[in-house]
Amino acid sequence: MSTTFKPVSFFIMAAALTACGSNEIKQPQQSPVKVNVFKVQKSDIARELVYSGTIEPDNTAEIGFAVPGVVNNIAVEEGQLVKQGQLLASLDATEYSNSLAIANASLDQAEDLYGRLNALYEKGSLPAKDYIDIKTKLAQAKANKLISAKHIADSRLYAPITGIITARKIERGSAAAPGVPAFTIIKTDMVYAKVTVPESEVGALKQGAGAMVFIPTLNDSTAGKITIINPQADATSRTYSVKIKLNNQHGQLLPGMLATIKMNTGSTVNALTIPATAVVRDADDITYVFITNAQNKAVRKRITVGALTGKNEVVVTTGLNGGEQVVTAGHSNLKDGTAISL
């Protein structure tokens, strides 16, 4: 019986192997992915320096009363926009008003006496010493009146600039002293983007050169020019302060906002550039591109990118050497080793 079934078993096994072989041959092969490529090459691009900085007001004024007194009125609050010449606060000026009344009376008396004695002096009936004495008293009376009038004017505090009240340091009923700040006002119709630049790079910057300031909070950019390059380095960090003046008529740029500043040096640098569409960033924030190899397969290549140029290209700082072909379209369907067609 064994001799009867052995050929049959062999036949069945052979048929099964043949069938398996047929299935492997018939498995469909993946078609190459159609892509567009760009040959990496060096080109001359404008050299830009990029720094992080902050927005600063055009001017900050600490203002206070010039005379002592008790605060009897406060006309503004913190955060309020005030115009130049607007009343901010005032003091009780009763004492100064009384002093002015006394000064006026003394002036009237001195003017009357001067009028009578001057006539005698012109006739030669009054000694020169007495004439000089009454003339001095008249001048003193006029000066006292002006001083008293100024004290009354100084009891009312006005805004010296148009800006925003950022601090109010007095309260109604409190005593104000000369020279002690009562308000802080910042001028923000123009603002500065301020950065600190190391000694090795400050020489590449020129006053009047263009700059682009990006404000992440506003997700917006504004153009400006380098206005100030402080020639004195910080004693500790050996860095130099650079300021870019910006128009802020709408008041969107607030002091303290963080900014990214790109400053044009006016020179060029030879660098590897690729289209921004070729760059891929994965979930781990790793930046890479796909390049083609001699077997027409995609090879994933990790890179480090720098600035974005005006041609919608990015500068590659590490990862590529030049001459590679990077995929610019179709890489959404690629993985390492995928067959491609151009």
Task: With H, G, I as helix, E, B as strand and everything else as coil, classify residue 95.
Answer: helix
Assess whether pLDDT exceeds 70 at residue 208: yes
Task: Provide the H-helix boundaries in the chain.
Answer: 2-26, 94-123, 128-154, 199-202
Maximum distance among all Cα pairs of the chain, rounded to whole angstroms: 173
CATH class of 93-154: mainly alpha
Domain ranges of the chain: 46-57+184-341, 65-92+155-181, 93-154
Residues 83-96 have pLDDT tens digits of 999 999 999 999 99
* Strand arrangement, sheet containing 175-176: 156-158, 87-91, 69-74, 175-176
Average pLDDT along the chain: 86
- Tell me if domain 65-92+155-181 and domain 93-154 are identical in fold: no
State how far the Cα of 338 lies from the Cα of 246, in Å rounded to an integer: 50
Length of the chain: 342
Q: What is the pLDDT of residue 270?
A: 75
State how far the Cα of 226 lies from the Cα of 48, in Å rounded to an integer: 13
CATH class of 65-92+155-181: mainly beta
Assess whether pLDDT exceeds 70 at residue 147: yes
Q: What is the pLDDT of residue 133?
A: 93
Query: Looking at this protein, which amino acid is placed at residue 176?
Result: A
State how far the Cα of 143 lies from the Cα of 133, in Å rounded to an integer: 16
Look up residue 38 and give its two tokens. Answer: 């760009």
State how far the Cα of 138 lies from the Cα of 331, in Å rounded to an integer: 95
Which CATH code is given to the segment(s) 46-57+184-341? 2.40.30.170
Residues paired with residue 74 on neighbouring β-strands, in sequence order: 89
State how far the Cα of 48 lies from the Cα of 209, in Å rounded to an integer: 11
Residues 36-60 have pLDDT tens digits of 888 888 877 777 788 899 999 999 9
Task: With H, G, I as helix, E, B as strand and everything else as coil, classify residue 84.
Answer: coil
Chain centre to alpha carbon of residue 41 = 35
Assess whether pLDDT exceeds 70 at residue 256: yes
Residues paired with residue 194 on neighbouring β-strands, in sequence order: 54, 243
